[in-house]
Amino acid sequence: MKKILVLCTGNSCRSQIAEGYLRYYAKEKAVVYSAGIETHGVNPKAIAIMKEDGIDISHHTSNNVNEYPKINFDWVITVCDNAKEHCPVFPDAVKKIHHNFPDPAKATGSEKAVMNEFRKVRDMIKEYCRNFVEKNIGNYK
């Protein structure tokens, strides 16, 4: 079984969303973890926008990358530039992939505008995860 780690700065939004979608698309073909360089807690807005799309991440926890020293990951996916720059060293066999997604937690404006930014980033991550699983793990249907 493949093991995937999604890494971002605080493990509160982008990596949590990606973990949810990767688990959904990969099903039993992969074990998916997410972590941060720091831990900021799972953002309630991330939980809400994932629930809108039928995926429950309310049980997720915010974890530090140092909590997984003995797991031999097949892939480490960094979802922000800060995580890529501060990513710990992994064995050479690990495939490292990077895609910088905007941080929806930095959105400003009305509640509606902020939630729309969360949805926009969610949809970007959803498409990325669907493509990743199809290309690297196999058909998710």
Angle 137-25-23 (CA atoms, 0-180°, nearest 5)?
Answer: 100
Q: Is 80 a catalytic residue?
A: yes
Residue of 31, 48, 87, 124 marked active site: 87
Residue of 4, 5, 7, 8 marked active site: 8
Residue of 37, 50, 77, 80 marked active site: 80
Measured N-to-C along each axis, helices 44-52 and 14-26 cross at an angle, to the nearest 10 degrees, of: 30
* DSSP one-letter string for 45-61: HHHHHHHHTT---TT--
- The catalytic residue positions are 8, 80, 87
